[in-house]
Structure 1
């Protein structure tokens, strides 16, 4: 895939984040009420309230997709802006917990969050897009140079335009960092930026009728329940319905359960727990949930710059339903 060259602010951001790593690790980097993560190492400055008008800047021009790392422990729910994402990826993190990456291309919500830290496997996943913008709160200190060298625009609170990030009221850090997407990328780039390889259209033949499907991580679970009224799969996480701060129940027209290799990475959190690496390049089996049915399919992604193809056993491409897609990476 061809790559474009864009001006980045990551060099300064990396230096600041590295300098802040030691002191930040003493801050609230562990997930409240759940198992710890490494977020403290890359924790950004704290704001007790939203920035005032004097801090705000005009939006920039539209560009590639925006990917936002979103907190997914109980203390972070309900999340904000999740309903506007074109794709929501669910991956494992330390302690068997889960974290989300929401990808925005066709529309931008007013705010997204809570924003949390990046992982090494995010870099491989994001290579399918052309110079995507990654919004994240920070990262493990030794991972920051890899993020800086990756073909993406890394935007932490230190590097982003003033007013793009703010601390929300009513929640304790680190579960209160939010992003205003328009102040980061200006406008939604459009569906053409979604270079995932996904195909949309009529459902394939066959499939098995299903009322619900549950995917379990070691310390988290996702349940998708078919709603004919919403014509989508109602999302529940850890046994609780997924409702945004606007009171909207998330219902995804398509859910992909993709079985992948999840191995140990080179990185650990502040307590020594290994950060899992979700390997999204390769091939394997998957299940596509749409229209109240489950379709057994195969997935293939030849290289990091490729999208992912879903096919039936005879090689026929499988269409997804139009609208939001959830991709849950389950252990093969």
Structure 2
């Protein structure tokens, strides 16, 4: 691990230990962090200077990952159309939450921002010293975040990067200004996911609509030939950003994984599912109006994920945004 990564881990440990009790409230909903409000003109109102500073550079470029609220009250969301990758995972009560990963473009604002989960730490190991922006976490999870090789940024440690928007009620109105954490885009080299881009593989079957169901959430991806993209719907409704732009990735991956109970619960007593992203299994890749049944493999947490055809050939994704939905393997 490089000197920059070690510096970030030391800084993260001190900050996280100082605010463990506050983070717990951010996850459970029993309290919300105090952050400035936005005045509607893109300026933050605050009675004292912001405390955040841009993250120090490590030895290699690192991505910005943001935990995104995905219940109905949180929609429409802001900025996730600029993400290079959007991961969808199951959380308490069978609901869903997103993680948007940014490397080639940083929007002016992203959100609503919500709390982290244990599964996120394993998923983020594939990146070199990533910055994770989130609103908090369950108190007992904080020692794991403390030890993780990432740069944790919350409203308590980077107050000047967050604001409360006027369009939604708390806790669904916390937003991040990415350039307050990362003044320049890290670039495509930071996307160490193992994803490959290029011509479509041979074969596949025509597929213009695919639905993935969680116990209390639903994702539908509908192919638009005119746009050359998959239009996203959530819980039966077309999904747009806050500026009215339809979410439309170029490639969708339905990755079938183990989803097991974790050691953590929310304040209502619901168990937090753990999504296992290291291992192997099957997946379905959607691109260019076709579906491809493939295999996935990730041998170690520090590795990216390989997607291959049945005969072992690498699978290329279409150029553009990728959505990965973690569905429970049968």
Aligned residues: 318
Structure 2 length normalisation: TM-score?
A: 0.91
- For residues 268 and 55 of structure 2, what CA distance do their matches in structure 1 show? 39
Task: Determine which of 294, 301, 304 is the counterpart of 1:304.
Answer: 301
Structure 1 length normalisation: TM-score?
A: 0.91
Residue aligning to 1:185: 182
Task: Give the secondary structure class of the aligned counterpart of 1:5.
Answer: helix
Q: How has the CA–CA distance of structure 1 residues 309 and 42 changed in structure 2, closer, same or farther, with 3 Å as cutoff?
A: farther
Deviation per CA, 1:77-131, whole angstroms, max 9, x where unpaired?
0000010000000000000000000000000000000000000000000000000
What are the ranges of 5 or more consecutive residues in structure 2 without an aligned counterpart?
Answer: none
Task: Determine which of 215, 219, 226 is the counterpart of 2:216.
Answer: 219
- For residues 264 and 86 of structure 1, what CA distance do their matches in structure 2 show? 29
Deviation per CA, 1:147-173, whole angstroms, max 9, x where unpaired?
01100001111112x420111112111
Residue aligning to 2:29: 40
How is 1:195-274 mapped onto 2 (pairs within 5 angstroms)? 195-274=192-271
- CA shift at 1:48, angstroms? 3.8
- For residues 242 and 212 of structure 1, what CA distance do their matches in structure 2 show? 15
What are the ranges of 5 or more consecutive residues in structure 1 without an aligned counterpart?
Answer: 30-37
Q: How has the CA–CA distance of structure 1 residues 2 and 10 changed in structure 2, closer, same or farther, with 3 Å as cutoff?
A: closer
Task: Give the secondary structure class of the aligned counterpart of 1:125.
Answer: helix
Task: Give the secondary structure class of the aligned counterpart of 2:21.
Answer: helix
Residue aligning to 1:32: none
What's the Cα RMSD here? 2.0
- For residues 257 and 95 of structure 2, what CA distance do their matches in structure 1 show? 16
Task: Determine which of 151, 156, 159 is the counterpart of 2:157.
Answer: 159
- CA shift at 1:323, angstroms? 0.5
Contact 1:3/1:131, CA 8 A, preserved across alignment: no
- CA shift at 1:59, angstroms? 4.8
Residue aligning to 1:13: 15
- CA shift at 1:6, angstroms? 4.6
Residue aligning to 2:49: 55
Task: Give the secondary structure class of the aligned counterpart of 2:73.
Answer: helix
Task: Give the secondary structure class of the aligned counterpart of 1:137.
Answer: coil
Deviation per CA, 1:301-327, whole angstroms, max 9, x where unpaired?
001000000000110000000100000
Residue aligning to 2:325: 328
- CA shift at 1:42, angstroms? 7.8
